[in-house]
Structure 1
Amino acid sequence: MKEITPIISTVMEQVREGILITDEKGNVRCANDAALELLNLPANTKPKNVREISSCNLVELISVAEESEGQADGASQQNGNFITFDHALKGRDATRHLRFRTGVCNVPGSSNRFRAIMIQDRTGEQRLDSVLNFRRGAGMVTDDPAMLEVLSEAMRIAESEASILLQGESGTGKTLLARMIHKHSKRKDERFVEVSCAAIPDALVESELFGHVRGAFTSAVSDRQGRFQAAHNGTIFLDEVGEIPINLQSKLLRALQDQEFEKVGSDQTVQVDVRVISASNRVLRDAVDEERFRPDLYYRLAVIPIYIPPLRERPGDVPLLIKHFYQGLAERGYPEDIGFSHDAISKMMDYPWPGNVRELANAVEHGIICAKGKVVTDASLPKDIRDYGGTHDSRRSGDRAEIEEQDRERINAVLRKVDGNRAEAAEELGIDRSTLWRKMKRLGIDPQKPGPDSLDY
């Protein structure tokens, strides 16, 4: 062993994995720099014996692994076969996920035996595995690097108590992500309360969030707890938080900051323990600059801001999502032998998807219903997607006025088709009603004035 040790040491330093070689008593004969670094040991300080490695009890880890693999008898005598086991090594700043492979070997021409221990850093692979598991648990279908990074960040911060602000267009999956953050948090066994702030009339927002007492207003015939109180010890998800009236934002700030508030009509303080996740389909920072949203509330909500990219920025996900939605439809009783033509998939990948994933799901269903000869062709797709080719260059040019005009025409066309019913129009467009209402206001579509482009309803 002494004769070959210098040769082994020279070779070991050229190997990226960590390597330890010990005798039968655990005395370390060789150890490369990679092994010292992976085991959180100071450089150039080779331990004399594996029992001196303070970062982990390597002797016990090997013994347990060998017994569980059947590679040691009742007296812990090794049979010579190599085994593999994983161990999470906690460091000062982070946890390393290590894979160990070890076994006992004979020295040629001698009765002595030595143990080889090889160590591989699998922290990166473990993190990726965790992200992919998180993705599957969230019901999110993506292979896009930007989206995987979003999921990785969400997974990292799930166990914290920090407030999270999810920003992204309607239909990008903000609600799904909020639910999964809660499921991976310390509050996972408590309630997850969802509030669509845009769906609550301004006059009822305060009562809905914080509750009221009997007699607080005309229709308050009994005491009622609000959503914050309902979420005590759990998580509250404030969707479209930017729609909360400015006059109530100071009360919301106090609820976040001090975890206390008063019900409407009461002077008794209610204390809660609630984690807040909020979402907005517009840039709240712009609302702050326009003095429509309090800056102190924004900073309290956006301790950790996460931006979810729209579907048009990750076209590679479109084929995956088509398959995912088709499988879901087949489980609901739709034909199981429908295929999508290359032209149809190309059209769908080129389309900008203003309604994002929600709109794509509707388009897949539309295509299956209109398929000819069990094939979804470009002719089977919704008219907006079929006709998009002519406007493709103008959309990419960034001409905002032209894009808005196209959106205006598109919304008016759908409104005419459904006789002005906003609920049906929103479903047809693949967006929610509150988003449709905001788009109509922004584009100057007045539902109260009859005309060729805007019906009275």
Structure 2
Amino acid sequence: MSQPNRILIVDDEENVRLMLKAVFSQNGNTILCADNGEQAIELFKHEQPDLVLMDIRMPNMDGIEALQHMHAIYQDIPVILMTAYAAVETAVEALRLGAFDYIIKPFELDEMKLLMARALQLRDMKHEINLLHRELSDSYSHGRILTNNPKMMELCRAIAKVAQSHASVLITGESGTGKELIAKAIHYNSPRAKGQFIKVNCGALPESLLESELFGHEKGAFTGAQIQRQGLFERAHQGTLLLDEVGEMSPHLQVKLLRVLQEREFERVGGNQIIKTDIRIVAATNCDLKSMIERGEFRSDLYYRLNVMHLNSYPLRERPEDILLLARHFLQRFSAENNKDILGLDISAISILEEYKWPGNVRELENAIEHAVIMSTGYIIFSDDLPEHLQRVKNMPSSGVTPITPFEQNVNLKDNLKNYEKSLILQALNNNQNNRVQTAKVLGISLRTLMYKLQEYCIE
């Protein structure tokens, strides 16, 4: 805390207030004091401190209730709660309600100073997160694919090669695996990047509307066609057209699409003027087109015209390395969009995300994180913030990990806390493949502290 700050100290014990004021009034800090929750809220509202240190157990209004009022006024000001009554449940509740952290009396002043220094970084963190969000949004809009998976990295290398050609591309894969993102990556890394990227879902429109959407129509071509209208083949000239769910296209439109691919020309609906077009066709589907060809549902000549280059997107269950990478990306994105300062995921939430099979793939993960951000009231995403169907995962036995049991009967509080801490560390190590640097980062502690804890609990 090298820069002067405004610190609000809230405690009903005068000696505690005086001690903290004497310690933290150094370095030019301005200290505000309150001996109850109501007074603290008024000072918080009018003085807007940089940081709040507040006791939990106070008469009339306790620290938890005061925290809720403060969080409703200004979410950006970190609040550290103090208590002599060390209960894991209280700590978790405080974090869930928006407290930056929780410290147990009596505490070491060095520990408090370190905690305060971390909390004060929150004033700048929101700005940094917003900047990062904008950078990531820009890169995503230009087709950037985030991955740590070897197969996906190989796919990215293939995309880079395919992008430089003018060949048609067929992208296959399950729903929600990012086929549109692959198509964007091809377009924005190709010589056509300055042209338009246009997408149409072939399964979302009736045949007549899809035909008009693709080819355009002349005035009077059908009832309601009061003006001439350009189709997507014209609008995407010198750009890229993504035909999503191409397997849903009718046989009639398959014939017309084949001509565009072969001759690079077409006529509008109701017209006879030949229109030349210079476009790249990228098709995407989750259907097995070869089986459809055998059943007579898809033209083999069209398939081979589309399938000059073939790329396959992998389901999320086959790329487990990407689950947390993508989750944290979506967390930054939705945190910024919802004007929240959510810093990370609780270990229990991480465990659920890693254990779940993700039948809806990346799209389902994206929706789950958006739901969690909206439901969260603090700085950390907990398992209870996740969609209800994901929460059931925590009640299922995970792969080799002993479930965390924060309280055991007939064991004193100190031993319970140690058991709980050991369980958290073991689960974090397992989730991070025993990578100690990553484990320390997830737990929010230094590597030195983690090494000390491993020695203390005899964890190999």
Q: What TM-score do the two structures reach when normalised by structure 2?
A: 0.53
Q: Does 1:312 align with 2:317?
A: yes
Which sits farther off after the overlay, 175-184 or 151-160? 175-184
Change beyond 3 A, Cα 1:333–1:207: closer
The runs of at least 4 consecutive aligned structure 1 residues that moved more than 6 Å come to: 389-393
CA distance in 2, matches of 1:378, 1:229: 49
AA matched with 2:298: F
- CA deviation string 1:305-332 (max 9, x = no partner): 1000011111111111111111112322
1:329-408 matches, cutoff 5 A: 329-371=334-376, 374-388=379-393
Q: Does 1:214 align with 2:219?
A: yes
The match for 1:297 is: 302
1:163-242 matches, cutoff 5 A: 163-242=168-247
Change beyond 3 A, Cα 1:232–1:371: closer
Task: Provide the secondary structure at the position in 2 that maps to 1:279.
Answer: strand
Change beyond 3 A, Cα 1:264–1:135: closer
The match for 1:271 is: 276
Across the aligned residues of Structure 1 and Structure 2, the Cα RMSD in angstroms comes to 2.4
Matched residue pairs, number? 261
The match for 1:141 is: 146
CA distance in 1, matches of 2:192, 2:397: 46
1:53-68 matches, cutoff 5 A: none
Structure 1 residue 285, shift from structure 2 partner: 2.1
Aligned equivalent of 1:284, options 265, 289, 308: 289
AA matched with 1:221: Q
Larger radius of gyration: 1
| 1:366–1:380 Cα contact (<8 Å) kept | yes
AA matched with 1:347: I
The match for 2:449 is: none
| 2:264–2:276 Cα contact (<8 Å) kept | yes
Structure 1 residue 137, shift from structure 2 partner: 5.2
AA matched with 1:165: L
CA distance in 2, matches of 1:236, 1:369: 35
The match for 2:267 is: 262
Structure 1 residue 195, shift from structure 2 partner: 1.5
AA matched with 1:197: C
Change beyond 3 A, Cα 1:265–1:319: same
- CA deviation string 1:199-253 (max 9, x = no partner): 2222212111111111111111121121111112222111111111112111110
CA distance in 2, matches of 1:192, 1:359: 24
CA distance in 2, matches of 1:188, 1:322: 28
Change beyond 3 A, Cα 1:391–1:195: farther
Task: Provide the secondary structure at the position in 2 that maps to 1:219.
Answer: coil
Change beyond 3 A, Cα 1:250–1:392: farther
- Name the % identity: 44
| 2:142–2:188 Cα contact (<8 Å) kept | no
Structure 1 residue 391, shift from structure 2 partner: 8.4
CA distance in 2, matches of 1:306, 1:286: 18
CA distance in 1, matches of 2:142, 2:275: 35
AA matched with 1:240: E
The match for 2:4 is: none
Greater relative contact order (CA < 8 Å, ≥ 6 in sequence)? 2
Which sits farther off after the overlay, 154-163 or 189-198? 189-198
- CA deviation string 1:358-387 (max 9, x = no partner): 211121122233346643232322111122
Q: Does 1:247 align with 2:263?
A: no
1:119-130 matches, cutoff 5 A: none
Q: Which runs of 5+ in 1 are unaligned?
A: 1-133, 394-457
Change beyond 3 A, Cα 1:376–1:188: closer
CA distance in 2, matches of 1:223, 1:370: 48
Which sits farther off after the overlay, 214-223 or 378-387? 378-387
CA distance in 2, matches of 1:158, 1:373: 43
| 1:363–1:381 Cα contact (<8 Å) kept | yes
Give the structure with the larger helix fraction: 2
CA distance in 2, matches of 1:242, 1:379: 39
CA distance in 2, matches of 1:222, 1:254: 25
- CA deviation string 1:275-300 (max 9, x = no partner): 11111122222222222111110110
AA matched with 1:310: P
AA matched with 2:151: A
Q: Which runs of 5+ in 2 are unaligned?
A: 1-138, 399-460
Structure 1 residue 147, shift from structure 2 partner: 0.8
CA distance in 2, matches of 1:235, 1:244: 19
Q: What TM-score do the two structures reach when normalised by structure 1?
A: 0.54
- CA deviation string 1:33-83 (max 9, x = no partner): xxxxxxxxxxxxxxxxxxxxxxxxxxxxxxxxxxxxxxxxxxxxxxxxxxx
Q: Does 1:160 align with 2:156?
A: no
CA distance in 2, matches of 1:381, 1:165: 35
Change beyond 3 A, Cα 1:161–1:366: same
Structure 1 residue 144, shift from structure 2 partner: 0.6
CA distance in 1, matches of 2:331, 2:205: 34
The match for 1:125 is: none
CA distance in 2, matches of 1:339, 1:192: 34
| 1:338–1:368 Cα contact (<8 Å) kept | no
Which sits farther off after the overlay, 366-375 or 137-146? 366-375
Task: Provide the secondary structure at the position in 2 that maps to 1:156.
Answer: helix
